[in-house]
């Protein structure tokens, strides 16, 4: 479940290369797993990168994004 989230318009050069920043903020959150640990990761919407429909307490699904063959990234989306 989503415990906390934030939007960041100031992003690293790598995220800026992917189109994040300014009008397209990068969203990050803290998700509590069923087993108890909490994980910080990128948040994404159901169909795009705008997680406007997310709320704290909401159930989340885990996944991975593959922007290149070497660095898969953890991402959470609304359940």
pLDDT tens per residue, range 9-23: 888 887 788 788 888
pLDDT in tens, 16-51: 887 888 887 878 899 999 999 999 998 887 655 555
CA quadruple 60, 71, 49, 52: dihedral sign: positive
Q: What's the predicted TM-score (pTM) here?
A: 0.77
Tally of structural domains, the chain: 1
Full residue range of the structural domain in which residue 27 is found: 2-78
Pairing outcome for strands 2-8 and 38-43: unpaired
């Amino acid at each position: 479940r989503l415990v906390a989230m934030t939007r960041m318009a100031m992003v690293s050069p790598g995220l800026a290369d992917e189109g994040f920043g300014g009008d397209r903020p990068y969203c990050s959150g803290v998700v509590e797993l069923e087993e108890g640990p909490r994980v910080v990761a990128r948040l994404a919407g159901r169909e795009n990168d705008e997680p406007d429909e997310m709320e704290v307490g909401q159930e989340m699904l885990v996944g991975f994004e593959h922007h290149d063959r070497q660095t898969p990234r953890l991402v959470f989306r609304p359940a």
